[in-house]
Structure 1
Amino acid sequence: MPDRRRHRGPHPEDAALFAAEMLPRLRTAAVDFCYLLDRGYAEPSALKLVGDRYALRARQRTALARACCTTEAVTARTRRVLDPSLLAGRELWIDGYNLLTTIEAALAGGVLLVGRDGTLRDLASVHGSYRKVAETEPALRHIGAHIADLKPARVVWLLDRPVSNSGRLAALIREVGTECVPPWTVRLEDSPDRILRGSPHAIVTADSGILDAPVRWLNLARRIAERLPEAWIVDLFAD
């Protein structure tokens, strides 16, 4: 079925699934899930065990999978996070779809999850196709304004070539990027994740597979979203 969404906003059930009265149950489930991950349980079996115990719906289970990780992963990832003040004069390489869809969701009021590692992740996903939404251009301009404040020497966006409409999105990012300081470079790559995992530059992503590589990364999505009044941020690890 074609993707006809005009916004990257919440699912119709999210108001109930992530309501304030649901958060204590979700937070307890997150603690239990992380406990099992720390003890070597496979993620699918641990998620089913915890999800069944707390009678979680599919999107709530997805939220746990996005937000939770092992203590070892938290320690390694947070040790390599960059303070924004250290970005001046450095190159910044961006996991394009990862950052953009999160800020689109923030502007549209979609659920954003604070992960155990401090990153911000949305519940949207790009599976083979991307569709521009009403929030796309505003999201790019918010990103541009925040990056300009950090004064990097160069900004490179990486997009997945196999994803449908990547060429159109690349053209839009280049158009917006001509107005930014510094101007943006956009590259279509067959495997951006592989490039970012081996990058010596500062990178922007919340992708666990990339963050588990020995990379220095900037928590840019959270930095931007926390300044947007529309953003619906759900912290499953709040005290």
Structure 2
Amino acid sequence: MNNRNRGKNTGDDILFGSDKQMEKLKMAAQDMLYLLSRDYSEKASSELVGNRYKLKTRQIQALRGASASEKQIGNRKSNRLEISDLKGRVLYLDGFNVLIVMESLLSGAYIFEGLDGCFRDLSGVHGTYKRVNQTLRAVELVASFFHKAGIRKLVWIFDKPVSNSGRIKQIILDFAVENNLNWEAGLEYNPDKFLAENSEIAVSSDAWILDNCKNWFNLIQYLITEEKLDVNLVRMF
């Protein structure tokens, strides 16, 4: 048993835990919306806004994840499916994206609700995935969703170049066998492109996937609501 989790970084309570910082981040998010909607690049927008509000690196990281243009927000909302749309369907799940957000959420890390209604965290794979104490609980919550939604098949897709991707793929497949779940798991060199092009319904909060897929489902929002999860939530609007 390991003692790893994806909890808060030292200093996160100072950056995200006060009303003063939250007001600053919300104003920054509105400025980002304005600039992105006028075709400023994300990099230029975040530098401009970050300087204006004297944001720290992790605040800028959270801001970038939570921001989108008016056009992006509109498109994402129009392609978003509800739980009632999923019965009997095949879903493709962005494995590391979903697992890491859920692991962070269950670890008590700050989770950021963006202008598009998606939930993101400040963790990342960084070339290697390490299983944490909350991994199994995250998989169990996905299984609960799978049953309640009446999904026909769930396909987990992981980044092949990421170290330990084969190991987590096997953990998912073993869990599926033990619990009699119609799950598959695959490794792809470019999972974002694969999910956008090959899935009828994608499960992810990755911005590029949301902008390029046919349809998507907001699994993190569903689990927070349905399972009444305790979340250190930061709303950026």
Q: TM-score normalised to the size of structure 2?
A: 0.94
Where do 5+ consecutive residues of structure 1 fail to align? none
Count of matched residue pairs:
234
CA distances 1:52-94 after superposition (whole Å, capped 9, x unpaired) = 1111100000011000000000000100000111100000110
RMSD over aligned CA atoms reads 1.5
Report the 3-state secondary structure (helix = DSSP H, G, I; strand = E; otherwise coil) of the residue aligned with 1:186.
strand
- Structure 1 position 128, deviation (Å): 1.1
Matched, 1:224 2:223: yes
- Structure 1 position 181, deviation (Å): 5.6
Do the aligned partners of 2:161 and 2:189 also contact (CA within 8 Å) in 1?
Answer: yes
Instruction: Report what 2:121 is aligned to.
Output: 122
Do the aligned partners of 2:196 and 2:202 also contact (CA within 8 Å) in 1?
Answer: no
Tell me the distance in 1 between the aligned counterparts of 2:3 and 2:125: 13
Tell me the distance in 2 between the aligned counterparts of 1:223 and 1:72: 24
Where do 5+ consecutive residues of structure 2 fail to align? none
Instruction: Report what 2:141 is aligned to.
Output: 142
Q: Residues 23-172 of structure 1: matches in 2 within 5 Å? A: 23-172=22-171
Q: TM-score normalised to the size of structure 1?
A: 0.93
CA distances 1:135-190 after superposition (whole Å, capped 9, x unpaired) = 11111111111221001111100011110001111111112222446321111111
Do the aligned partners of 1:153 and 1:182 also contact (CA within 8 Å) in 2?
Answer: no
> What percent of counterpart residues are identical?
35
Do the aligned partners of 2:88 and 2:151 also contact (CA within 8 Å) in 1?
Answer: yes
Tell me the distance in 2 between the aligned counterparts of 1:66 and 1:46: 13
Tell me the distance in 2 between the aligned counterparts of 1:78 and 1:179: 36
Instruction: Report what 2:214 is aligned to.
Output: 215
User: Is the alpha carbon distance of 1:66 and 1:5 closer, same or farther for their aligned partners in structure 2, counting shifts above 3 Å?
Assistant: farther
- Matched AA of 1:50: V
Do the aligned partners of 1:103 and 1:224 also contact (CA within 8 Å) in 2?
Answer: no
Do the aligned partners of 1:106 and 1:228 also contact (CA within 8 Å) in 2?
Answer: no
Matched, 1:196 2:195: yes
Give every structure 1 segment of 4 or more consecutive aligned residues whose post-TM-superposition deviation is greater than 4 Å: none
Matched, 1:16 2:22: no
Report the 3-state secondary structure (helix = DSSP H, G, I; strand = E; otherwise coil) of the residue aligned with 2:202.
strand
Q: Which moved more, 1:100-109 or 1:173-182?
A: 173-182
Report the 3-state secondary structure (helix = DSSP H, G, I; strand = E; otherwise coil) of the residue aligned with 2:130.
coil
Report the 3-state secondary structure (helix = DSSP H, G, I; strand = E; otherwise coil) of the residue aligned with 1:198.
helix
Instruction: Report what 2:184 is aligned to.
Output: 185
Q: Which moved more, 1:173-182 or 1:130-139?
A: 173-182
